[in-house]
Amino acid sequence: MSLKLGKLIYTGKAKDVYETENPDRVIVKFRDDITAGDGEKKDILQLKGYYNSLISSKLFEVLEAAGIKTQYIGLLEPGYMLAHKLEMISLEVITRNIAAGSLLRRFPFEERQVFEKPIIQMDYKSDEYKDPMLNDDIAMALGLITAEELNDLREITLKINKTLKDFLETKGIILPDFKIEFGYDCEKNIVLGDEISPDTCRYWDIETWDVLDKDLFRQGDSGVMDAYKKVASMVLDDEDLKKWGLNEI
């Protein structure tokens, strides 16, 4: 399918979603915008959308191969992903394998404490309410999801976590935590959507534990795009690197 953008139907902090000629499909554009602190800190980093789209497409392919339904169809070109249209659920599902970030500000865990079992946290996706943490009763009272769907969501999330952890470890990357979003497809199946990138995941080098994600931007450190490029070069195979000309950048 050629890259032909239809009507703009959604604009987020770092991505735009466009209609296509097929009402059940959309094109997701990965922009170079980067934000932190609920959008209070902003910048534009050249090629961020390029790298995030390559990383996300590869990880979606890994999950699809493991039998996990995603909205991903294909990468039309770097920065533009063809996807199934979803009715998004207003939940951010966060999986934590190692204590980091806001978890340390809220609870008395030790920094980089490795959890025996992954922690699944759900937040209400709402800029107005600052994405507060939810429990099951609140999520259901808000009408966001049913009890059965919550159980399904946890089961899917645990499978996603194991699949990503196992794959990334073979590439030399630790996965401390990540945030994902789900939606309903045209048949009302719960499907993984959004992106899986250094914007939404923590990635650490498996040997040095160096940060390779948006935490560098949050902390005001340099080398943000060097880290994103490194993640892309680590997760993509040689054929993908050649196809998208990553070695030439």
Quick: pLDDT tens for 180-217.
999 999 999 999 999 999 999 999 999 999 999 999 99
Determine the 3-state secondary structure of 191 from DSSP. strand
Distance CA 153, CA 134 (A): 14
Count the Cβ atoms, other than its own, within 10 Å of residue 41.
12
Distance CA 49, CA 119 (A): 29
Distance CA 212, CA 141 (A): 38
pLDDT of 247: 66
* pLDDT score of 39 more than 90: no
Mean pLDDT of 98-125: 97
* pLDDT score of 82 more than 60: yes
Q: Are 212 and 204 in contact (CB under 8 A)?
A: yes
Q: Hey, what domains does the chain have and what are their CATH numbers?
A: 8-87+224-244 (3.30.200.20), 90-205 (3.30.470.20)
How many C-alpha atoms does 58 have within 13 Å on its Cβ side?
25
For the chain, helix (H) and strand (E) counts, in that order, are 7, 15
Nearest Cα to Cα of residue 157 among 172, 142, 145: 145
Q: Are 113 and 62 in contact (CB under 8 A)?
A: no
Determine the 3-state secondary structure of 203 from DSSP. coil
Mean pLDDT of 41-50: 96
